[in-house]
Amino acid sequence: MMSEAGTPTYPVSTISKLLLLTERRVQQLVKEGVIPKTERNRYELAPAVQGYIRYLQERMVGNTAQPLDYQLEKSRLVRIQADKAQLELDHLNDVLVATEEVAKEWEIILSDMKSKILSIPSKAAPLIRDETETNVIMDILQSFIDETLLELASYGNNVESESNPIQWDEAIEAAAEVHG
């Protein structure tokens, strides 16, 4: 079809395909005045494309041209620098520890725990080989478990919890006593 000026017009489906938009979005842009409409659901090609390009350009300029509040940005920078300095100070005063260091220590502790626990059967086997009474076997195994827990307690000799001043070795000994 042709508009009153003799320029061909196209349906919303053609305009939406050309602009890579949905038909609904094209209709929204028409309501906003971005894309000019000539007839009911018919649009001239050049004005529609130009209107959409102008719309996108204005949006791009609007995003980059927002004025910065210098004082706000300066105070934000000072706050970040202060936080960074505090973290460095805490690290120097041993208030903070690097996660890599903690992970490395835990890896060593868990590896030692694993080897000590896995050694229990080889230590206990010769002693329980000839035993037939369940209570005696359980006592032997329990003594090896208690011994292993006491060995593992050496990791906490110098470490005290702030919330509970009992040291690791004392806690392990208490657990061993509960188990006989």
* In a domain? residue 39: yes
* In a domain? residue 44: yes
> Would you say residue 180 has pLDDT above 60?
no
* In a domain? residue 38: yes
Q: What mean pLDDT is predicted for residues 122-145?
A: 91
* Per-residue confidence (pLDDT) for residue 59, from 0 to 100: 82
* In a domain? residue 53: yes
* In a domain? residue 105: no
* Higher pLDDT pick, 113 / 172: 113
* In a domain? residue 97: no
* In a domain? residue 71: no
Q: What is the pTM of this model?
A: 0.38
Which of 64, 82, 99 is the C-terminal boundary of a domain?
A: 64
> Would you say residue 147 has pLDDT above 60?
yes
Percent of the chain with pLDDT over 70: 79
Q: The domain containing residue 121 runs over which residues?
A: 114-178
> Would you say residue 161 has pLDDT above 60?
no
* In a domain? residue 17: yes
> Would you say residue 173 has pLDDT above 90?
no
> Would you say residue 165 has pLDDT above 50?
no
* Higher pLDDT pick, 21 / 60: 21
> Would you say residue 67 has pLDDT above 60?
no
Q: What is the 3-state secondary structure (H, E, C) of the chain?
A: CECCCCCEEEEHHHHHHHHCCCHHHHHHHHHCCCCCCCECCEEEHHHHHHHHHHHHHHHHHHHHCCCCCHHHHHHHHHHHHHHHHHHHHHHHCCCCCCHHHHHHHHHHHHHHHHHHHHHHHHHHHHHHCCCCCHHHHHHHHHHHHHHHHHHHHHHHCCCCCCCCCCCHHHHHHHHHHHCC
| Total domains in the fold of the chain | 2
> Would you say residue 23 has pLDDT above 50?
yes
